[in-house]
Amino acid sequence: MEAWEVREVCLQPLQLALESKARKLGHTALAGIQVMFKDERFRSSIETSDEEKLMPAQVLNVLSVSHMLAEDLQIEVMKVCAHISSETT
């Protein structure tokens, strides 16, 4: 199983947690996303050329529900986005 496939499987429940609009689940989901960036198992030395399968794109897709979240969760989403932008530059 390639890294993008592992991320896809792991991000699905995190996206569902964010979509539930439950604050506790949302905080847990965002913490899980942050752990993914630190864990080498979710990274690949050979990434696919398909941009939708790159880690930042997959995470941003999950975070697309942020406009529906409570303000404190939106702040955490912005922190994750800042982390993504600093990792990809």
Q: What is the pLDDT of residues 10-31, one digit of tens each?
A: 999 999 999 998 999 999 999 9
Query: How far is CA 57 from each of CA 24, 60, 70, 71, rounded to the nearest angstrom?
Result: 24, 5, 23, 23
Cα end-to-end distance, the chain, whole Å: 27
pTM: 0.84
Mean pLDDT across the stretch 69-84? Answer: 92
Residue 47 banded pLDDT, cuts 50, 70, 90: low
In angstroms and rounded to an integer, the radius of gyration of the C-alpha atoms of the chain is: 13
Q: What is the pLDDT of residue 89?
A: 52
Mean pLDDT across the stretch 60-77? Answer: 93
